[in-house]
Amino acid sequence: MTRALQERGEEIADRWVELQMEQALLDTDIGEAELREEADALIEALVPGLHSGVPMDRVVTSTPGLHEAVVGLSLRRARAGATPTATSLAVLALKEALLKAVQRDTRDAEELFASAVFMNRLLDVAGALSFETYVEGREEIIRRQSQQLMEQSTPVVRLWRQVLAVPLIGTLDTARTQVVMENLLQAIQDHEALVAIVDITGVPTVDTAVAQHLMQTVNAVRLMGADCVISGVRPSIAQTIAQLGIDLSTILTRGTLADALAAAIKLIDGPGPDGDEGDGR
């Protein structure tokens, strides 16, 4: 098998690429040139792996170059949108290409059988590693995309001089509360804001957990030296909060964002000489 890899490496790589394309193991835009680069890298890494002297079922995981080649292949497939099954089957397709190259050097049944068993043990581990790496890679991609979506869905808007607003839409859970806090507190520092409006018009329901998340946000804003106003308190939400016995009496609340902005301007400018709001300049 080592001799076949050394003497027929290009032939094995070509056949492996052909098998992947013939068997429709890819449902991505990965081209033939990229497949050939992957094949060359993996086949080149196989030879030192076979000479490493470690048990066969540990060659793939213990040989740095070979391990990196399999992991790199799997991560590229994950980013390209291939399925984990297709990714592992693509690795396993190398068995047929290798066995065909070995058959060019020997027709001895016992040698071919031994080579087949050898390749199965070697590449089954590679297939399992590629599947595991793919799943972990996709999970990381999903986590990053989820984080990006949360950040984009919780923008901090400057409504007025020293007045910021965070319009919340959807459920407010622990992870999202953390993102809201981080973005809002950073914006308070950047804009030297004195009032932050948290608008919950787009939050469908407010239960005990959501109320606690709101309280955490309010407390964090106050620690930054700013006041916090919650807007968008609809009659149904007010009734739910009252029924749950949630105490929001220490927080300034308003029914609409416009009312909250008016209250924020008053907090900044203070009442006019006749007790009216300031001009907001």
pLDDT tens-digit readout, 14-60? 888 888 887 665 566 677 888 888 888 888 888 787 777 777 667 78
The answer for residues whose C-beta is within 8 angstroms of residue 127's C-beta and 6 or more apart is: 88, 89, 91, 92
Region 53-70: mean pLDDT is 78
Q: Please determine, for residue 164, whether its predicted confidence score (pLDDT) is greater than 90.
A: yes
Determine the Cα angle at 206 with ends 204 and 208, to 5°: 150
Put the strands of the sheet holding 195-202 in their side by side order.
157-160, 163-169, 195-202, 227-231, 252-254
Q: Please determine, for residue 201, whether its predicted confidence score (pLDDT) is greater than 60.
A: yes
- What residue spans of 51-108 are helical by DSSP H? 59-62, 64-80, 84-92, 94-103
Q: What percent of the residues of the chain are helix, what percent strand, and what percent coil, each to the nearest 5? A: 65, 10, 25
Sort strands 195-202 and 163-169 into parallel, antiparallel or unpaired. Answer: parallel
Between these two residues, 189 and 31, which has the higher pLDDT value?
A: 189
Domains of the chain listed by start with CATH number: 1-151 (1.10.490.130), 157-269 (3.30.750.24)
